[in-house]
Each structure stands twice: as structure tokens, then as C-alpha cells.
């Protein structure tokens, strides 16, 4: 796009905003044209990727349409959150929904979506990063219980999937409801599952490093953890408070 310039005759513009142009009105006109060009390209790109985004979201937020069975840990964790809500008399469905969203989709899946190099041996370019950020933002909005009011001044990445988010939100709600209907996982089954996972990945992790991280957490919140163990009936039956105190004392002596 070439626009006249009074001093040099002509000035070549690329498809970016020209911040140093002296004629403000001409600059505004050019910026508007650039925005319209970008919006058209954004919509075309979204249409190309729509099926892949839909497939990704449906696979994540489904108990049936997935490559493998739902991990027992997810059912066990969601049941635990529901039990804690009942125990503390929290009956607001939005609170339970937010807890589940924070502990799995927003803590794990958003990180994987925005950083595929964590899973695959690939290089993530700046353009790819920007595109994945739009998908990740849509994912986060789909897990939210609040309504996002959008207007003409809202960011383009918010407007791009505005009509799709209500549908995605229904998938999230259905996902949580389907998991709640599944049979409960017993402590014995969960322990067996964790033991099997530990055996399968025995050589892939540094167990001493993991234990050190757990110990650092315990020393930081020792009083709160000991108090919680004393109040919990199952923990009292297994004498977990005394065992933990013994571990802390042993570590203190060795250090």
C-alpha cells in the first residue's frame, strides 16, 4: 500500500501500523484498512483450524470420545473435591465447577496447549505461539462460569471464538456431570493404580528429588498438616500424625 508523503513524494507501507507518520488522519485510515485485512485473514485461518480445535476440545472434555479410558485419578480427584465441598457445606455449583477447572483443565491442559514443545520435540515459533495463545484463551473461557461481555473494543482473539464458547461450555459441564455419574473409585483400587503407574515409570523419574520436594512442602506447612491429620478420622486410625512427626524428627537429626 503506497500513500503520498509531502516531503519525500511517496512512502511504502507494509501491513503494520505506521506509528511515525506525520499525517494522523492518513495513519488512522491506513490502520483501519490493515485491521480489516487482518480480521479477514483471522477468520479464514479460524475456519481452517475449526475442526481441529473442536476435536481437541471434545477429546479433552469427553468420557467416551477419547483414545483411552478416563484415568482413575481424574474420577478420584473430582470425587474428593465434591466430598470437600459437602464437608464444608459448599453448595454453590459454580464453586465446585471452578475447583475442578482449576485443578485439571486450567492447570494441566492449558499448559500443554500453549507449550507443545513440552510433549513433542518441536520448535515453537513466535507465530505458532500467538496462534496457540488464542486457542488456550478460548479453552480458559470455556471453563469459566462467568459471562464475558464483549464489544467492539474487545480483543480480536476474544471475538474470534465468541460464538463457539457457549457450546464449549456445555461440553465442560457435560464432562463434569458424566464423571460424577461414574462409579466411585475405592482407596484400594486407587492405591493399586498408583502402584502400577509407579512400576511402569520406575526408571523415568528421580524419586529422591520428588521426596525432597514433598519434604520441603511439609517443613513449610508442618503445623497446618499435623493439625489436619489430627482432625481427620482416617488419618488418626492410621496414626499418620505420629509417623510424619517421626519422619520430620529423623530428617532434622540427619541434617
pLDDT below 70 — which residues of the chain?
A: 1-36, 255
Residue 12 pLDDT: 61
CA–centroid distance for 94 within its chain: 17
**Domains contained in the chain, CATH given:** 37-185 (1.10.506.10), 211-254 (no CATH)
Residue 58 pLDDT: 92
Residue 1 pLDDT: 44
Residue 147 pLDDT: 83
Backbone angles phi, psi at 198, to 5 degrees: -65, -40
User: pTM of the predicted model, to two decimals?
Assistant: 0.72
Amino acid at each position: 500500500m503506497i500513500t503520498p508523503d509531502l516531503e519525500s513524494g511517496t512512502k511504502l507501507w507494509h501491513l503494520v501500523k505506521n506509528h511515525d507518520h506525520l499525517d494522523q488522519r492518513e495513519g488512522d485510515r491506513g490502520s483501519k484498512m490493515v485491521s480489516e485485512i487482518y480480521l479477514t485473514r483471522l477468520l479464514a485461518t479460524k475456519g481452517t483450524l475449526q475442526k481441529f480445535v473442536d476435536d481437541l476440545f471434545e477429546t479433552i472434555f469427553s468420557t467416551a470420545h477419547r483414545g483411552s479410558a478416563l484415568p482413575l485419578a481424574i474420577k478420584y480427584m473430582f470425587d474428593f473435591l465434591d466430598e470437600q465441598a459437602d464437608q464444608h457445606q459448599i453448595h454453590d455449583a459454580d464453586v465446585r465447577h471452578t475447583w475442578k477447572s482449576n485443578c485439571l483443565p486450567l492447570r494441566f491442559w492449558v499448559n500443554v496447549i500453549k507449550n507443545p514443545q513440552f510433549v513433542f520435540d518441536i520448535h515453537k515459533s513466535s507465530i505458532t505461539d500467538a496462534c496457540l495463545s488464542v486457542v488456550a484463551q478460548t479453552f480458559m473461557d470455556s471453563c469459566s462460569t462467568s459471562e464475558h461481555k464483549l464489544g467492539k473494543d474487545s480483543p480480536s482473539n476474544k471475538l474470534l471464538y465468541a460464538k463457539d464458547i457457549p457450546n464449549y461450555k456445555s461440553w465442560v459441564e457435560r464432562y463434569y456431570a458424566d464423571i460424577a455419574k461414574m462409579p466411585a473409585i475405592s482407596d484400594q483400587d486407587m492405591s493399586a493404580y498408583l502402584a502400577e503407574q509407579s512400576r511402569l515409570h520406575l526408571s523415568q523419574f528421580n524419586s529422591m528429588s520428588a521426596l525432597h520436594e514433598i519434604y520441603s512442602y511439609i517443613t513449610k506447612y508442618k503445623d497446618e498438616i499435623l493439625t489436619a491429620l489430627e482432625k481427620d478420622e482416617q488419618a488418626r486410625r492410621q496414626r499418620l500424625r505420629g509417623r510424619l512427626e517421626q519422619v520430620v524428627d529423623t530428617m532434622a537429626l540427619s541434617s
